[in-house]
Amino acid sequence: MKRIIKALSVRGRAVRLANWNPRATPGCKDKDEAAERLAQNLARIDTLQYLLYGEARRSLLIVLQGMDTAGKDGVIRKALTVFNP
């Protein structure tokens, strides 16, 4: 996980979007592996949400921050579909 964070961090240097591959899958060798890991993580999130609901003591707030065209809608469609509001 630390390797992925380091690869995606841009602190203290100028960023040129042309230098970033929009189809990259950091931490995964290809798109298929990324899709498989997403499915596994969604299953885990579903289980954890069920436990959180059963506890009835805590809540979860997810804040997505990004500029226009940052991919917030895509994250909601792909990664957060497992959540039950």
Structural domain spans, the chain: 2-79
Q: Choose among 62, 60, 61, 63: nearest CA to 51.
A: 60
Task: Say what the pLDDT of residue 70 is.
Answer: 82
Task: Say what the pLDDT of residue 85 is.
Answer: 67
Q: How far apart are CA 36 and CA 25, in angstroms?
A: 12
The list of the chain residues with pLDDT below 50 reads none
- Which single residue is written with the structure tokens 């809540």? 59
Task: Say what the pLDDT of residue 33 is.
Answer: 92
